[in-house]
Amino acid sequence: MSKTIESLAPAELWKHFAALNAVPRASKKEEQVIQFILDFGKQLNLQTYKDEVGNVIIKKPATSGMENKHTVCLQSHLDMVHQKNSDTDFDFATQGINMFIEEDWVKAKGTTLGADNGIGVASIMALLASTDIPHPALEALFTIDEETGMTGALGLQGGLLDADILLNLDTEDDDELTIGCAGGIDVTIGGNYKTEKVNPDSMGFRITVKGLTGGHSGMDIYKGRGNANKLIARILLSAADKFEPRIKTIDGGGLRNAIPREAFAEVAIHAGESEDFTALINQEAELIKKEYQSTDPNLSISIETIVTPETVLETAFQYNLLRTIAACPNGIYRMSPAINGLVQTSNNLARVLVKDGEISILCLTRSSVDSEKMDLAKTICYNFELAGARPSFGGSYPGWAPKPEAPIVKLMSDLYKELFNAEAHVNAVHAGLECGILGTNYPKMQMISFGPNIRGAHSPDEKVQISSVQKYWPYLLETLKRIPERN
């Protein structure tokens, strides 16, 4: 399969992408990929080292005639989001990604592809290994844990890099030049609950929500896609208006930065009401599927009988918990009043696990305005505190303030128009990029982000467009050729 991928053009980039995707590289479990990159740099006899948090830096001298140009840092993150469909048998800890080509796209079989940010990593590897591509002095910065906390960028010390310009290769639309992004904060809700014995004349049911489109909890949050955790709570509350379903477990979503696609609930209901209960769930399912038929055409909501649970949530806690989940802000909180079409603040209710006497609820709150980010995060906490849960914050990172006047922005904007006879969209995005964090220790460094078309990031639908990579690659190479000389 990798031979097929390697046969694509540009061969030097796809070859390294295939090699990279053979290495497990989940966020916070990057030991194998860190060693892979360290070995790669050392085999090229380039200055290669790992900093104290696990980032890898590789430095390559300028090619002949380009020694006086500004040094450029090429930056991408090593980790990838690990998501798979529930019916896909795959072990991310031991297996490489199973890739295939479908028309103009490279995809993965039932899992995330890792084009985010593997295409960027592979691009840098190709440049480091090249012997015939002209470029100024390069500093390759491979950061870790971008997807679940940006701890690599947060831990990078000042003074390790000498570059004047940073090219972040982590944008997912090939006609965009990104010069700003949102910051974020992790909101974690924990707690315990008491259980009760189930009425002996009860029946057990499992309610399943699956097939939602999902996607990136920043880049795709404005698209109005269904959130499995919100929908499962809605279904259970609708049933509670006429029956008394007693909850055994709720298990929905996964990673903070992925819009949740699946959720499951196990409940008990009085046996004499089972038919009416099933009919109501199916009726509610049809209503929801109609509401989401445009954004989530593959949405499936089903109900099936299971072994009757022995214990369920205590009544008062169940009442408060469902209403608290229903009331939790999700999706767009506020659009930017200054930048047309830009989401300013949002929240993703990413994970809900209610099981064995414990609850765990994970949110990722984003905003390009730090004070509003914190206000929304506190609002979420207040909401869950009313239900007796224990909220906490973690993983806060700053946004990246746009600097449209930076020389690299003009250089790349003009070059885009020259190469493609069109205007590049210079913008800010509602997603977390590492540039804002890196800029705290390197405030004078010019920064810009770009990349090829990637769709469905953070979901098993992730794919990268072959023709777009073929557009992006010469754009990157020509940018390096045109980096100006130092004054």
Domain residue limits, the chain: 2-181+399-481, 185-397
> How many angstroms separate the CA atoms of 362 and 367, rounded?
17
pLDDT score of 80 more than 90 = yes
Average pLDDT, the chain: 96
Contact 95, 177 (CB under 8 A): no
Cis omega (within 30 of 0) for bond into 117: yes
The residue type at 78? L
The residue type at 298? N
Backbone φ, ψ for residue 371 (5° rounding)? -65, -35
| Assigned fold of 2-181+399-481 | Aminopeptidase (3.40.630)
Candidates 299, 70, 45, 51; CA nearest to 154 is 51
* Residue-wise burial string across 407-444, b where 16 or more C-beta atoms lie within 10 A, e elsewhere: ebbebbbebbeeeeeeebebbbbbbbbbbbbbbeebee
pLDDT digits (tens, 9 = 90+) for 223-279: 999 999 999 999 999 999 899 999 999 999 999 999 999 999 999 999 999 999 999
pLDDT digits (tens, 9 = 90+) for 112-150: 999 999 999 999 999 999 999 999 999 999 999 999 889
Of the residues 12, 30, 79, 170, only one is catalytic, namely 79
Of the residues 12, 30, 139, 146, only one is catalytic, namely 146
pLDDT score of 1 more than 90 = no
Q: Is there a catalytic annotation at residue 87?
A: no
Q: Is there a catalytic annotation at residue 79?
A: yes
Quote the percentage of the chain above a pLDDT of 70. 99
Which has the minimum average pLDDT: 17-21, 348-352, 355-359, 393-397? 393-397
In degrees, to the nearest 5, what angle opens at C-alpha 6 toward C-alphas 4 and 11?
Answer: 140
- The hierarchical CATH code for the domain 185-397 is 3.30.70.360
pLDDT score of 461 more than 80 = yes
pLDDT digits (tens, 9 = 90+) for 95-117: 999 999 999 999 999 999 999 99
pLDDT score of 218 more than 70 = yes
> How many angstroms separate the CA atoms of 424 and 140, rounded?
25
> How many angstroms separate the CA atoms of 2 and 10, rounded?
14
Q: How far apart are the first and last CA of the chain?
A: 49
pLDDT digits (tens, 9 = 90+) for 331-346: 999 999 988 899 999 9
Give me the mean pLDDT over the 434-438 stretch: 94
Give me the mean pLDDT over the 455-467 stretch: 95
Count CA atoms closer than 13 A to 102's CA, side-chain side: 9
pLDDT of residue 241: 87
